[in-house]
Structures are given as structure tokens and as C-alpha cells.
Amino acid sequence: MQLDEVLETFVIECRELLQSMEATLLALDLGAIEAEQINAIFRTAHTIKGSAGLFALDHVVAFTHVLESVLDRVRDGEIALTEDMRSLLLNCGDHISALIDAVADGHHEEQSTLGRAGEPLVARLRCHLPADAHPQEPAGGPPTQDRAQQVIPGAPAAAVGDRPGNTPHWHISVRFGADTLRSGMDPLSFVRYLAQFGTVKAIETLADAIPAAADMDAETCYLGFEIALSSDASQREIEDVFAFVKDDVLLRIVPPCSPVSEYLRLIDTSPEGADRIAEVMIACGSVDASALRAGREAQTGPALGLPGGTTPAHPGVMPPASDDDAGRLRRAGEARNPEVNSIRVDADKLDYLINRVGELIIAAASTNLQAQRAGLPELQDCATTLSNLVKEVRDGALQLRMVRIGGTFNRFQRMVHDLSRELGKDVRLVTLGEDTELDKTLVERIADPLTHLVRNAMDHGIADPAYRIARGKPPQGTITLNAFHDSGSVVIEVSDDGRGLNRDRILAKAAERGLVAAGAALSDEEIFGLIFEPGFSTAEQVTNLSGRGVGMDVVKRNITALRGTVGISSTAGVGTTVRIRLPLTLAIIDGFLAQVGDSSFVVPLEMVEECMELTPASRAANGNRGFVDLRGSALPLIALREVLETGGMPGQRENLLIVSWNGQRAGLLVDQLLGEVQAVIKPLGTYFGSAKVIGGSTILGDGQVALILDIPGLLRYANSLAVAGNAISATASID
């Protein structure tokens, strides 16, 4: 791993920590704050500060140290966490995020613009610190020259500070892996970072593993250190210092005032040999020579003398560790080397994989077709096996792109919090269905439409507290984001408990603009849908959030581009719900293949209810009417030959493909039913961009192109026929 890769990991993890910190701050109930919530926020600042110190990002360390100092006082109960403090901490998180973004862009030194932006925040933070505190000089930041000299490996004893004698302190034994330098890590930076937790009383450099000059590899790390640290830090905090190299380091820590057996265990398991490490530990002042001798004699009886009159600690003479000790050591090792259950993969690589899988599906379909034409049973069996395997690969590849929508939902918590303060309203955001998964591309592209809808609900939907109280509502308004799967699609709802839409005002405005005829009889759904028309607005005042007649048309256009639909239901005085319906994926679908004349069409399989033959008797009884009686229910008929103008004469048999979507049903009249197919969705060119009932295209196994039908568009078409009076109830019956 190169330094750039390590720095990239640092940036990614910082962003994740800041997102978690923001979510925790927004979730805080200021009347009943839990200690663990404050600890989690503190750990975020502490971890970012420490990690930034490893990369010598002095400006990040300096700012986060001031924040950490304030959070420490909050954690100790010296500062109350009020709404103003929460806003300050959120703003500090934003500033740290900007600093990290600058680092990601290659700016490792503080940018003047960011520096000026951070000064007011630092001033506000310092108002919460004692006058004699100096957070601008963090102990854990880049060491001063004096401090740096105290920890430089190989420095003479005089440069290390006072000898510790028997002063209780941590003893830290660390051996860096051979690839530490190749990973872009500097072992000395970790040692220096320990100074943030207290005073490095002594340090001994171990270079016993260095080979002869002729055999040395300049990129291989041969170093180890024995360190005496005087600190009030916990063992977990000390272990976290080495988090970036935890999988490539041998780290052993003996707490202060530990029994001599713990020091003997470290001595007996050191790679340099017991005699060597015993001398080093005595030189560090971590343990007395007499204590080592007494401890060894207690284990094995009197033995040979160590230098200085102590007892040698020979490898292997120590009795086996107890079960409790073994368990403790095993748990400690697991804590330092947790099992890795996930990896980060670049999105471009996933896109490439999906594209290749799409081509594989087309190739498998072609193979299957050739096998059927050849009529060889063995070849057909192989082709079937191949098709099944390709389908499994397809499902697995698509699953890689599926992500939870909860991450998108959570980003609106901050927006609702900030807009509530700006508008003088009391609004909370409730999220449901955060575990609902859909394609990564959809999650990314749905964020902007949802932003428009949430802002619109904040501005127009929910009134100020006084207005709500006067109408018998609680002063706090609620916006709800909900997601769930339904009939092979993902439904996202944005609801508010505000004023609701004024049906009459919308209709009057639409008539005024010539969008509908005066006195037209429209359903509520049709009237509410008018707000998606470009430039349409009934707002009496223009605000900085909405009311300019733009935004809602963009929402609909963006959702339509995702092969989705959007609808509105509203009750005056109760609230409004905007419902978005999206496909699960934009790449590959299971479809049903049908033929009309010489043209082939694919219908998304999750929208197909059943298939049946339309008998000549039923067809004759139906005549030219647009409905048939399907088991007692009126089913609209859509003749694809006429809608798509395919031409050609109908065959001797007609078939009915019954589809449903969002509670609507219709029967598609086709010539042939060709069965299920895996369809790789190819976008249509600009020439076909205006086609209202075509959602894309795909390539079949024989190389022909088939159009993918837009079922919602077809159902809207059938509905428009009914509204226009072109269809009447039928008497024909289908069994």
C-alpha cells in the first residue's frame, strides 16, 4: 500500500466519522442526553486529531484539539449541551469536513480561505474553555523541537529526560512489520504521537533484526522500540495510536503497577531473546532488576545471574499461561486484528462489471438460441446450465450495487434542523424503511429530487407553531421519509402533517394559465399533478427556499429520467404525501418477451400478472370496445399494434398479456408470447427521446433489437382513452 492509498483511507474514514458525529448530534435529546452519545462525539474529534497528526496535518490537529478540549468539558459535565452548543458543534464538523476535502484535493497545508473560516469557530469554542487553557498548542500535535528530541530513537540518555526509576508507567513494546515503510508509514511518527497521551520517559531503539549491509533492503523496516510512557490514558487509547498499522505490527503493552509476571511474560516472548529485553526494560526503568530476579525465582527457583545480579529469563522456562491469561491475550489479539468483513470497491469497477455481465447475458442468450436450432440435447443441457449460472452471476453483480437508502435519508436530518432555525419553525424528521435497498445509481440521483420535496414541505407545507396551535395541532411539525418495496419497485414517500394542498386554488391557477379548460372536471390526482408543470406556483410570497415556480417540474423530470413516476395525495388541513416509484435497478431486468408482427417487445416481468389466449369468440363478442370482462372485473385493452403502429396483419391467434402497476391493470394484445428473457437495458437515442411508452431497448440472442415497454406510460395511455370516452364497458368474458 502506497502513501496515497493510506491517505485516501484516512480521508474516507474521517468522512464516515464526521457523518456519524453529525447523526449523533442531531439525534440528541437535549433533555435526556446519554453519556455514550457524548463519548462517541468526543471519540470522533479525538480519532481525527490523532490520525491527522500521523500525516503531519498540523492545521487539522490544531482545530480538532480545540474542539476536543470543549467536548472533554462537555463530557465531564462542566459545559451544558444546549441547542446553541449543538449548532456550534455541527458547524465545527462542517469545517473539519472542509479541511478533509482540501486534503483529499492534495492541499496538505492550511488554505487561507479555510483558515479564515475557522477563526470564528475557534473563538466561539474558546469561550467555553478556562482562561488559562492553551488549546492552540495541543500536546498531541506535531511535537515541538524539545519534545521531538525527547523521543528520537537512539538519543543519548540525557536527551530522554529524567530517568524514571520506579515511577509507575506504561511499558510499550512494539515491533514494526517489514512492509511498514513500503506502506508509506514512518515508525517514528507513531512514537512521537504517543506524546499526546503524556510524557515519554524513556525509549530504547531495537535494531537487532538489521542484517549485514550487503543484505539490507532499503525499503524493509527492521525497527522495534521499548518505550516507557507516563500517562493517564487507557490501554485502548494507546493501542489506537497504532491503528493504521495494526495488521503489520507486534504490539505488547504492560500497564502501570502490573505484577512482575506480566513483565516476565513479555521478556520470554520477545524475538530478540530474554537477556537482551531484560536489559532494555531495566534501562527503561520499567522494572527493577531485583524484582525480575525475585519473580523468576518464584517461578523456577534460583537460577543463573543476570547482568547486574539479576536472574536470566530464558525462553521456555516460564510455566504455561493460565486459561484466563490465554483468553485475555487471545481477546487482545482479536481486538487488534479484527476480522475484515467488507472491502471498498471503486464505483467505476462495479460499473465495468455490470457492463460485462450484460454482454455475458446477451452471449448466453445467443448460445441458448443456437443450441435450440442445432437440436442437440447435450448442447441444450449445457446452454441451460450456462444460462442458469449467468443468471446467478447477474443477481450477484447487481446485489453489489445495491445500497441502503438510509444513508440518503440521514443527510436530511441536518437540513431539517438548519431550516427549522432559519424559518422559525419546529420541525422533526422521521425516517422509516432505512434498510430498503436499491441500485447505487438510483440512490445518488434521487437525492436532489428528495431535497426539493423536503424543502418544499418545510416552506409551504408546515406552518409556524402559532398557526398550528390555533388549528388544534401540536406546535412541532413532522416530515416523514419512508421507503419500501412494492411489486418489484421501490416506493419513496415524502409526507408532512402541514396545511395540505388547496385544491380549488390550484385548479383556478391552472385555468388562469390555460393549463386546463375552465370548469373542467378533474380528479384530485390530476389537479395535484398540475403543480409539476413548469413555472406553476400558488405561493403568495417568494422565499429563498421556494415559491418561484421552479423545482417541482425538475423533480418530475429527474424521476421520469430514472424510469420512475411521481404522484401526490393531499388533504386540506391534514397534510400531503408525495409518492415516488422507482425500478430496483437501471441495468438488467427479468422480462417477458412478446411479438407483434415482426417486432419484439419486452415487458418487465414483475409487472406481468398472467398470460392467456384471446379466443376468436371472445374477440368477436368484444368487437372494437376497449374493455373485456376478466372474471367479473372490467379490464382495459391496449392493442400494441395500434399504439405502436407496427403495421402488418394480425395473426390467426391473439394473446393477452395482463400487466399491473400501482394498482392499475390492463391487457396488452400481442400476436405471440415468447416467454421469459433476461434483458440488458440499453438507453434510447435522442431520436426516440419523446417516445412515451418505450422505456429502453435490449439485444436478443439472435442479435435483433427489442424495445422495452414503459408499462406506467401505457397504463396512463389506457386511462386517457377511458377519460376521452373511447372505451365502454364490454360484455365479452374471458374464462
pLDDT of residue 494: 94
pLDDT of residue 93: 92
Q: How confident is the model at residue 303 (pLDDT cuts 50, 70, 90)?
A: very low
Residues contacting residue 189 through CB under 8 Å, at least 6 positions apart: 53, 54, 56
Residues 204 and 289 both lie in one domain: yes
Angstrom distance (rounded) from CA 490 to CA 509: 33
What's at 21, amino acid-wise? M
Angstrom distance (rounded) from CA 441 to CA 587: 10
Instruction: Give the full edge-to-edge strand order of the sheet including 224-231.
Output: 198-206, 224-231, 170-176, 249-254
Angle at 127 between CA 124 and CA 129, to 5 degrees: 125
pLDDT of residue 160: 30
pLDDT of residue 411: 85
pLDDT-wise least confident of 16-20, 148-152, 530-534: 148-152
Residues contacting residue 655 through CB under 8 Å, at least 6 positions apart: 594, 611, 612, 613, 614, 669, 670, 671, 672, 673
Percent of the chain scoring above 70 in pLDDT: 79
What's at 292, amino acid-wise? L
| 182 vs 468, more confident | 468
Residues 169 and 300 both lie in one domain: yes
pLDDT-wise least confident of 40-44, 148-152, 605-609, 674-678: 148-152
Angstrom distance (rounded) from CA 352 to CA 464: 50
Residues 163 and 294 both lie in one domain: yes
pLDDT of residue 121: 92
User: Of 355, 380, 401, which closes a domain?
Assistant: 401
pLDDT-wise least confident of 61-75, 278-292, 398-412, 637-651: 637-651
Residues contacting residue 440 through CB under 8 Å, at least 6 positions apart: 347, 350, 401, 402, 403
What's at 426, amino acid-wise? D
Do the domain assignments include residue 134? Answer: no
Do the domain assignments include residue 76? Answer: yes
Q: Which three cell numbers stand for residue 476?
A: 412541532
pLDDT average, residue stretch 63-88: 89
- pLDDT of residue 498 exceeding 70: yes
Q: How confident is the model at residue 651 (pLDDT cuts 50, 70, 90)?
A: low
Q: How confident is the model at residue 643 (pLDDT cuts 50, 70, 90)?
A: confident
Cα 451 to its chain centre, rounded Å, is 17
Cβ contact 172:238 at 8 Å? yes
pLDDT-wise least confident of 92-106, 481-495, 603-617: 603-617
pLDDT-wise least confident of 268-277, 475-484, 542-551, 560-569: 542-551
Do the domain assignments include residue 550? Answer: yes
Q: Which three cell numbers stand for residue 729?
A: 364497458
- The total domain count for the chain is 5
Q: What does DSSP assign to residue 249?
A: E
pLDDT of residue 475: 93
Residues 365 and 412 both lie in one domain: no
Do the domain assignments include residue 615? Answer: yes
Q: How confident is the model at residue 362 (pLDDT cuts 50, 70, 90)?
A: confident
Residues 163 and 311 both lie in one domain: yes
- pLDDT of residue 165 exceeding 60: no
pLDDT of residue 4: 67
Q: If DSSP codes are grouped into helix, strand and coil, which group holds residue 537?
A: coil
Do the domain assignments include residue 137? Answer: no
Q: Which three cell numbers stand for residue 627?
A: 374493455
Specify whether the backbone of 372 is left (phi greater than 0), alpha (psi in -120 to 50) or beta. Answer: alpha
Q: How confident is the model at residue 277 (pLDDT cuts 50, 70, 90)?
A: confident
- pLDDT of residue 265 exceeding 60: yes
Q: Cell 505488547: give the residue.
A: 252
- For 378, the domain range is 347-401
Distances, alpha carbon 663 to alpha carbons 486, 493, 657, 695, 719, in Å: 11, 16, 16, 20, 13
Q: If DSSP codes are grouped into helix, strand and coil, which group holds residue 386?
A: helix
pLDDT of residue 236: 83
Cβ contact 203:153 at 8 Å? yes
Angstrom distance (rounded) from CA 450 to CA 378: 53
CATH code for the domain in which residue 212 is found: 3.30.70.1150
Query: For the CA atoms of 555, 559, 561, 563, what is the dihedral angle to 10 degrees?
Result: -160
Q: How confident is the model at residue 510 (pLDDT cuts 50, 70, 90)?
A: confident
Residues 434 and 532 both lie in one domain: yes
pLDDT of residue 90: 92
Q: How confident is the model at residue 158 (pLDDT cuts 50, 70, 90)?
A: very low
Residues 308 and 203 both lie in one domain: yes
Angstrom distance (rounded) from CA 634 to CA 727: 11
Distances, alpha carbon 223 to alpha carbons 181, 184, 250, 488, 553, in Å: 11, 15, 11, 58, 64
- pLDDT of residue 364 exceeding 70: yes
pLDDT of residue 445: 86
Mean pLDDT for the chain?
77
Estimate the crossing angle of helix 83-104 against helix 58-75, to 10 degrees: 160
Residues 483 and 560 both lie in one domain: yes
Residue 318, φ and ψ in degrees, nearest 5: -80, 135
Q: Cell 465531564: give the residue.
A: 76
> Which among 696, 686, 695, 698 is positioned nearest to 715, based on CA atoms?
695
- pLDDT of residue 52 exceeding 60: yes
Instruction: Give the full edge-to-edge strand order of the sheet including 427-432.
Output: 427-432, 477-486, 489-496, 575-583, 565-571
User: Of 563, 583, 603, which closes a domain?
Assistant: 583
CATH code for the domain in which residue 626 is found: 2.30.30.40
- pLDDT of residue 283 exceeding 90: no
pLDDT of residue 112: 86
Angstrom distance (rounded) from CA 453 to CA 480: 11
**What element of type H or E holds 224?**
strand 224-231
| 425 vs 684, more confident | 425
Q: How confident is the model at residue 162 (pLDDT cuts 50, 70, 90)?
A: very low
Interior/surface letters 103-121, b for 16+ CB within 10 angstroms, e for the rest = beeeeeebeeebeeebeeb
pLDDT of residue 722: 53
Residue 332, φ and ψ in degrees, nearest 5: -65, -40
pLDDT average, residue stretch 185-198: 81
| 505 vs 133, more confident | 505
Q: Which three cell numbers stand for residue 367?
A: 448460445
Residues 282 and 165 both lie in one domain: yes
pLDDT of residue 10: 84
pLDDT of residue 511: 82
- pLDDT of residue 156 exceeding 60: no
Q: If DSSP codes are grouped into helix, strand and coil, which group holds residue 223?
A: coil
| 619 vs 99, more confident | 99
pLDDT of residue 712: 80
pLDDT of residue 575: 92
Residues 578 and 625 both lie in one domain: no
Q: How confident is the model at residue 720 (pLDDT cuts 50, 70, 90)?
A: low
pLDDT of residue 726: 41
Most confident range, picked from 130-139, 195-204, 381-390: 381-390
- pLDDT of residue 320 exceeding 60: no
Residues 83 and 112 both lie in one domain: yes
Angstrom distance (rounded) from CA 440 to CA 399: 10
User: Of 534, 556, 583, which closes a domain?
Assistant: 583
Residues 551 and 536 both lie in one domain: yes
**Residues composing the chain:** 735
Do the domain assignments include residue 334? Answer: no
pLDDT of residue 98: 92
Cβ contact 153:191 at 8 Å? yes
pLDDT average, residue stretch 460-472: 90
Cβ contact 235:255 at 8 Å? yes
Do the domain assignments include residue 40? Answer: yes
Angstrom distance (rounded) from CA 416 to CA 425: 10
One-letter-per-residue 3-state SS of 192-222: HHHHHHEEEEEEEEECCCCCCHHHCCCCCCC
Cβ contact 485:519 at 8 Å? no
CATH code for the domain in which residue 54 is found: 1.20.120.160
- pLDDT of residue 189 exceeding 70: yes
pLDDT of residue 515: 78
Do the domain assignments include residue 154? Answer: yes
Residues contacting residue 558 through CB under 8 Å, at least 6 positions apart: 445, 448, 449
Q: What does DSSP assign to residue 306?
A: P
Q: Which three cell numbers stand for residue 582?
A: 422507482
Q: How confident is the model at residue 496 (pLDDT cuts 50, 70, 90)?
A: very high
| 332 vs 29, more confident | 29
Residues contacting residue 272 through CB under 8 Å, at least 6 positions apart: 206, 208, 224
Q: Which three cell numbers stand for residue 426?
A: 419546529
> Which among 557, 423, 576, 550 is positioned nearest to 494, based on CA atoms?
576
> Which among 177, 56, 195, 192 is positioned nearest to 139, based on CA atoms?
195
Specify whether the backbone of 703 is left (phi greater than 0), alpha (psi in -120 to 50) or beta. Answer: left
> Which among 103, 2, 113, 12 is positioned nearest to 61, based on CA atoms?
103
- pLDDT of residue 326 exceeding 60: no
Q: Cell 485516501: give the residue.
A: 8
